[in-house]
Chains A and B, each alone.
Chain A
């Protein structure tokens, strides 16, 4: 059955290629740092399930050391010039879009089709499997059409990967921090604090504390998934449902989305906010956050009002 192991096998191979391309790039001042970082990620993809919990912990420490000691930089391997690209874009025309569209098209068709083949595919992971197949197909189509040597896409991929750098693993790191928080009982402590802070007899105060707390905690943890169990157990359940007889499903559903407003406003949500800024080569690494705050704040207020008016039937 094709599932995550297939996805991780391809992922590991590509990260290993990033490592090899980094190690052999003489123009890269910090090439060994980059090579080590990508090699550790390749190891995680390929052998993560065999390493054991402590082994994976050591692997993470290795990633933290490379990034923390500032051992990562960007390569300067030659690519095409702006003029060459303009000339080729004019010559190849709109056909250039086709290989780029193979990836979303295969992801879309695969997601819908693979679900009907449960004996062949892991139904829960069809989108990631289809995405991976889309990448492989697009890569094959590009190589056949553009006639580059197979190393060229790997070098170009490494160039883009270098612009993301250590930020690539921050989301995975934060997810792991959430697990440690759960183990340490941070949720219970925050919940205890909340009950002392909300003014007595104010349903609106309780709703606002819940929604704003969800967004605020999401900004610190970089992820609404980490904030939700804490705020729902601490405030949503005991106060909004317990005291004010709110509908637990509506309190939960809209509360989670209040958390998503926090995701739009924090650099800790690296994969949504810092990685795009790096990929787009923006001068200000917080430019994406700045573009989102004017949407996030009114939407957070809208969520407070939605909980207030909809969650107490």
Chain B
């Protein structure tokens, strides 16, 4: 029972707003001690896992390219391009991106888009430009946050359709531990119903967001739809 103290440490540390890195380290120490490990064993287990998980932090290597292009006006150009596009709305743009992100993730191409690669330089500024055209007040969190959310939903509920993704391999391994031989393809197949639900739910929300904007502001000139 005492090993559950580590979970309590995470919840308490989060509520008390301590630095999350500090909270995680404290949780590991408490859990390890409660299980009768000595602190050095906990340190070594933690260090080994940290080293094995380095690939998680590789995405930050794209920042110099994105930063350089931004310096030369990439975000501004993305805004102009969308503003010039007739019939572009936040909803239509993000539903299109959701479909692309889910489809490419399902093919195993999870790293070709993301918050640093595509959302900050392209998708968020485009969504903001579309929203402004629809009459939304500029400078609010809502539209860029929705762009980042769309990226996450597309990634999460697309990637599990791909057979060689980490979560599928983890499930194969855990099932093997119970003596069940599962084909990755079977597991991927049963991710499809949820993927369809995820697309439907998020797309409806984006469509409703467009309707809300349309109600708030008079339609832009020349927008017959």
Contact = CB atoms under 8 A, between A and B. Distances in A.
Pair from one complex: yes
B138 interface: no
Given A64-B21, A171-B56, A79 B6 contact: no
A263 to B, nearest CB: 7
Interface string B82-109: 0000000000000000000000100011
Given A104-B112, A131-B111, A256-B167, A232 B174 contact: yes
A168 B57 contact: yes
Given A54-B47, A177-B46, 16 more contacts: A56-B46, A60-B47, A60-B50, A64-B21, A88-B73, A96-B69, A97-B81, A108-B104, A124-B164, A131-B58, A157-B63, A161-B63, A175-B50, A260-B157, A282-B145, A302-B201
A137 B189 CA distance: 36
Interface residues of B, number: 117
Interface string B23-44: 0110110011011010010111
Contacts of B177: 233
B53 interface: yes
A132 B161 CA distance: 24
A164 to B, nearest CB: 7
B220 interface: no
B145 A287 contact: yes
Contacts, number: 425
Contact of A254 (B25, B37, B118, B190): B190
Given A128-B58, A161-B63, A179 B46 contact: yes
Interface string A272-283: 110111011011
B51 A51 contact: yes
B145 A290 contact: yes
A21 B188 CA distance: 44
Nearest to B124: A280
Interface in B119-170: 119-122, 124, 141-142, 144-149, 151-153, 155-157, 160, 164, 166-167, 170
Interface of B: 1, 3-4, 6-7, 10-11, 14, 18-22, 24-25, 27-28, 31-32, 34-35, 37, 40, 42-78, 80-81, 104, 108-113, 115-122, 124, 141-142, 144-149, 151-153, 155-157, 160, 164, 166-167, 170-171, 174-175, 177-178, 180, 182, 186-191, 193-194, 197-198, 201-202, 205
